[in-house]
């Protein structure tokens, strides 16, 4: 019998009295378990199996693909937002869905667990929600081994050097990050798609990467002054990275679009891209 701390990330009815729950635990990773009697008012689970709830859980771990058996749960913290904070509610459902989609059963990831718990607390407030979503998405890609390449060309390894703060930097999803001038020309020749992102967006992505490395090495994280417009542009780009890795859009992501009032900014960047491309002035590069 095992004991651990967990966040409830998914739940479905199994019978008139029982539930099948998906838990993201601190020491065991994602587990799927049956909670017999979990739908009854009087049960050993103390009404603590609502989605997004953080709990202490006791379960019997089964081998192979069999469902674990949940025997007891105790409430640590129930997710709560005010009636006016629908943005925070949808954001919380979104990261729960992402954790479920990106993680495999029984693969521990305490960093991702701590980040999930941290962001659920942050979403209870109505401040900087898009920043917290973008930060979560970037670290999820980092933990998955698919974070964007930011300092070197993702195709040929050439170092990317930014000399003009207003320059747009080519970014290609299929390559996994930013690309250089030569690869831009190659992509044009073969009509392969790429997007131009703003330098401010690249700075935010690099800031997220630095934050992760600082936490791993127990170093102090520095603050970065950001505009809402830049945060939302970064969020749109990371949404696209998430969707590319999954091969489809997460079901809850579309609800967050209503709160992102600068969805048009990437399209605006593409308009600017046409002008810059005609002048052949993507980001300057230096050869290794």
Angle between helices 199-216 and 228-246 (to 10 degrees): 70
pLDDT by position in tens, the chain (length 288)? 899 999 999 999 888 888 999 999 999 999 999 988 877 767 767 678 889 999 999 999 988 788 999 998 899 999 998 888 899 999 999 999 999 999 999 999 999 999 999 999 999 987 889 999 999 999 999 999 999 999 999 999 999 988 888 889 999 999 999 999 889 888 777 667 888 999 999 999 999 999 898 877 777 666 777 888 889 999 999 999 999 999 999 999 998 887 765 443 344 444 444 444 444 444 444 433
The pLDDT assigned to 48 comes to 84
The pLDDT assigned to 278 comes to 44
Tokens of 194: 């790429």
The pLDDT assigned to 221 comes to 66
- Least Cα distance to 73 among 21, 119, 110, 121 occurs for 21
CB contact at 8 A, 22 and 31: yes
CB contact at 8 A, 123 and 88: yes
Q: How far is CA 171 from the centre of its chain?
A: 19
- Integer CA distances (angstroms), 13 to 16, 49, 71, 189, 240, in order: 7, 12, 17, 53, 32
- What is the spatial distance between Cα 109 and Cα 91, in angstroms, rounded to a whole number? 21
Q: Any idea which residue has 């008012």 for tokens? A: 41
Question: Per-domain residue ranges for the chain?
Answer: 2-77, 159-286
Sheet of 168-172: strands edge to edge?
Answer: 177-178, 168-172, 195-198
Class of domain 2-77: mainly beta
Tokens of 245: 């890795």
Burial group, residue 111, by CB count within 10 angstroms (0-12, 13-18, 19+): middle
């Amino acid at each position: 019998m095992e004991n651990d701390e967990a966040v409830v990330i998914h739940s479905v009815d199994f019978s008139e009295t029982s539930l099948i729950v998906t838990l993201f635990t601190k020491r065991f990773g994602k587990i799927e378990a049956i909670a017999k009697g979990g739908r009854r008012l009087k049960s050993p689970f103390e009404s603590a199996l609502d989605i997004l709830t953080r709990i202490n859980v006791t379960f019997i771990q089964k081998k192979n693909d069999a469902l674990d058996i949940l025997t007891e749960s105790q409430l640590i913290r129930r997710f709560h937002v005010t009636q006016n904070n629908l943005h925070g509610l949808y954001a919380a459902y979104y990261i729960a869905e992402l954790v479920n989609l990106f993680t495999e059963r029984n693969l521990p990831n305490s960093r991702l667990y701590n980040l999930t718990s941290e962001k659920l607390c942050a979403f209870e407030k109505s401040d900087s929600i898009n920043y917290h979503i973008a930060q979560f998405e970037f670290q999820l890609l980092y933990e998955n081994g698919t974070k964007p390449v930011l300092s070197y060309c993702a195709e040929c390894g050439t170092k990317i050097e930014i000399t003009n703060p207003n320059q747009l930097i080519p970014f290609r999803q299929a390559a996994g990050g930013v690309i250089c001038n030569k690869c831009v020309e190659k992509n044009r020749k073969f009509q392969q798609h790429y997007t131009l992102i703003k330098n401010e967006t690249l700075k935010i992505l690099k800031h997220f990467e630095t934050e992760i490395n600082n936490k791993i090495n127990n170093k102090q994280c520095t603050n970065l002054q950001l505009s809402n417009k830049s945060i939302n542009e970064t969020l749109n780009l990371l949404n696209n990275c998430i969707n590319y890795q999954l091969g489809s859009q997460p079901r809850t992501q579309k609800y967050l679009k209503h709160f992102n009032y600068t969805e048009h900014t990437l399209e605006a960047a593409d308009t600017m891209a046409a002008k810059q491309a005609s002048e052949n002035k993507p980001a300057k590069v230096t050869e290794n």
